A and B are shown apart, each in its own frame.
Chain A
Amino acid sequence: MQMNMVSAINNALELILKENEKVVLLGEDIGKDGGVFRVTEGLQAKFGEKRVMDTPLAEAAIIGTSIGMALAGMHPMPEIQFAGFSYPAFNQIVSHAARYRSRTRSALSVPMVIRTPVSGGVRSLEHHSESPEALYSHVGGLLVVEPSNPYDAKGMLIKAARMNDPVLFLEPTKLYRLFKQEVPEEAYEVPIGKANVVREGSALSIITYGTMVPVVKEVVDDKKVDAEIIDLRTINPLDEASIIQSAKKTGRVVIVHEAQTSFGVGAEIAARIAEKAIYELSAPIIRVASPSLPYPFPGYENYYIPNAKKVASAIDKVLSA
């Protein structure tokens, strides 16, 4: 069936709720309102208020109580309305969700999926366009994933809900309704921890994820350059093997993400390539990312987030080096 990312995630949630009684959804405005992006539309009507809960407005408690549910044998799927509002819950995520397993040598684990919209490009108010994947990937013990299309979104969410780990599931708002794709109606899994080679090529490797995947594809199509495009899909743990293999093959690497440049995911990727493939490179690695600044108000976002032109000039630069 043709689905956009919103309907693919909604469909995945429905299948998960049917499949596993331990699963409950909780969050602000996810019940009657169906979520501010309508991702959970209709689920409360189908599964009742006990399994699809509107909570009071308190992120620390949404995540903290979810951790408690998980410790007691449930599999909660809390939603944080926007990633920029996950910070009140940062303590719960970093100090507990990510550490219960290691602190108890796997006697206790926190199976849960935290869903939250990320990134910008849709003229949202302050704090509604954050890309905090690096913050959360830095922690360890927490899976961080970010699909870039409806098919992956559904398959990865189902996979996440079947794992015995805390998963931070990032949903780029810009991609929610950007395009439709053929998505199977039944449940299926897309692996977590495996990058997707979107396009094979030999001239250069472009490593990207999230909102920048469609931008990169467009530039590569326009320029008719023989680029290999890798969509990470999972940020932590990084699929290092796919990255190194591609870097060795093409010898030229551009990393593209929307989040800030400094201390970002691109830095981690570049470091790993430098460690394991530097002698096979023909050009310096280039990062295309946002300035090392907080995400601006919507009026300035086009001056901030990378676009096709910025990606194109990086490609030219890496090819001419």
Chain B
Amino acid sequence: MLTKAFEGSVDYVQVMDENGAIDATQFPKDLADAKILEMYKSMLFARALDAKSLSLQRQGRAVTYAPLVGEEATQIGTAFAMRKQDFFVPNFRQHGVFLARGFPLDSFFVASRGFEDGNKIPNGFAATPVTVPVGSQMPHAVGMAFAFKYQGKDAAVVSYVGDGGTSEGEFYEALNFAGVWKVPVVMIIENNQWAISVPRRAQTASQTLAQKALAVGIRCVQVDGNDVVAVYKATSEALENAKEGPTVIECVTYRMSMHTTSDDPSRYRSDDEVAEWAKRDPLLRVRTYLLKKGMWNDDLEKQTSEEQLKQIDEAVDKAEQFKPDPVGMFKNAYSFMPEILQEESDDAIASNFWQ
């Protein structure tokens, strides 16, 4: 006897193409043009923040930085789809999500200077901070989603992982738990084609990353991650259905810049490849769309950019006023101060050995 034990397939969704043309059959009904405009401004803001962060790092005013340029649609589209009550769990590249969700910019820049103090997440801001160990954040997202379900909250968790991150055991384990527990989590795979120098094709023999979800019985979809409308649509739908269980969304995008400021991509990838992806720039198509609709023009772009830069500069100024407090290292390790740590702290402060 021979029968099919399993059959599965993965849809690919694009709503707005590279030229700003819309596929009406896919266009989300509830999405007003005004919201597309807001998303465009937010993408512009993310790109400006990115450029500033890079320049601060180059001037020695910030520590190692992981640029987001090219991945704005994935980050802003998912952020705009989140409802107020939803939580997000990032890796280390989602600066755009923090920005769009209203994280205080000056705190962002304090963290960029290399101080934990910038990670002091404001009360009510629904996110964990940057997670560096690749993939390790994924089980947290599932646990949080479990908690929300347990507590009867109408909230979901949106978590982010890179293409490289989908190779880690913790990614697979988290996915499997999410499937078994049917918890309200939306896992965004930000597939930017590279994990430092390792290309997507060398990362896995799997045809798509989304299909990893099929193995654990989770809904999945692959979207054009440079199409903010498709990303918004897929994330909104997943969040609407979050009560029924998890969704994996693979956003196909591209890391236009270096992995981090410590990296030199010319060692392992061609300029041609980068140029090819530049044609699919996530901002360009939205701009074309808005221009055609008469909702945008060069003056507005200039004015918006100036306002955004001003906000960024003010935040940088404020962050540069921040004075580090070494006692904070000691005070925040436990819920109480162990005697032997107090002694280490007192000794350190008394000796001022760093001066």
Binding site for B on A (CB under 8 A): 28-29, 31-34, 36, 54, 56-61, 84-85, 87-88, 123-128, 261-262, 291-294, 296-300, 302-304, 306-307, 309-310, 313
Contacts and interface: CB of A to CB of B under 8 A. Distances in A.
Contact of A309 (B92, B113, B133, B353): B353
Contact of B197 (A54, A56, A88, A292): A54
A132 to B, nearest CB: 13
B168 A123 contact: no
B340 interface: yes
Q: Which of B92, B136, B353 has the most CB of A within 10 A?
A: B353
B104 interface: no
Contact of B204 (A56, A87, A299): A56
B10 interface: no
Interface in B181-210: 195-198, 202-204
A200 B195 CA distance: 48
Interface in B135-184: 135-136, 164-165, 167-170
B329 A300 contact: yes
Contact of A56 (B202, B344, B348): B202
A88 B333 contact: no
28 contacts: A32-B197, A33-B268, A36-B196, A56-B167, A57-B165, A57-B195, A60-B169, A61-B167, A61-B169, A87-B133, A88-B136, A123-B114, A125-B132, A126-B130, A127-B132, A128-B132, A261-B344, A291-B330, A291-B344, A293-B330, A299-B324, A300-B116, A302-B354, A303-B326, A303-B329, A304-B329, A309-B351, A309-B353
Contacts of A262: 340
Contacts of A56: 164, 167, 198, 202-204
A229 B345 CA distance: 28
Given A58-B167, A58-B168, A33 B329 contact: no
Contacts, number: 121
A292 B334 CA distance: 12
Contact of B354 (A57, A88, A307): A307
Given A88-B169, A293-B330, A54 B351 contact: no
Contacts of B333: 293-294
Nearest to A308: B353
A292 B341 contact: yes
Given A57-B167, A88-B169, A300-B326, A33 B114 contact: no
A126 B134 CA distance: 12
A88 B138 CA distance: 14
Nearest to A303: B326
Nearest to B334: A293
B64 interface: yes
Nearest to A37: B262
Contacts of B326: 300, 303
Contacts of A88: 133, 135-136, 168-170
Contact of B64 (A28, A124, A313): A124
A306 B347 CA distance: 13
Contact of B345 (A84, A87, A261, A291): A291
B309 interface: no
Contact of B133 (A85, A124, A303): A85
A128 B133 CA distance: 10
Nearest to B196: A29
A56 B329 CA distance: 35
Contacts of B345: 291
Given A88-B169, A303-B329, A298 B203 contact: no
B324 A300 contact: yes
Nearest to A311: B353
B267 interface: yes
A306 B168 CA distance: 35
A159 B164 CA distance: 34
Nearest to B322: A299
A226 B297 CA distance: 75
Contacts of A123: 63-64, 114
- Please list the 10 inter-chain residue pairs (A to B) with the smallest Cβ-Cβ separation, ordered nearest first: A299-B114, A33-B197, A298-B114, A303-B326, A57-B164, A56-B167, A299-B115, A310-B353, A57-B167, A58-B167
A306 B344 CA distance: 13
A215 to B, nearest CB: 12
A213 to B, nearest CB: 19
Contacts of B330: 291, 293
Contacts of B116: 296-297, 300
B329 A296 contact: yes
A29 B341 contact: no
A46 B333 CA distance: 48
Contacts of A304: 329
A45 to B, nearest CB: 12
Interface string B93-137: 000000000000000000101111000000000000010111110
B114 A54 contact: no
Interface in B299-355: 324, 326, 329-330, 333, 340-341, 344-345, 348, 351, 353-355
Contacts of A310: 351, 353
A297 B110 CA distance: 11
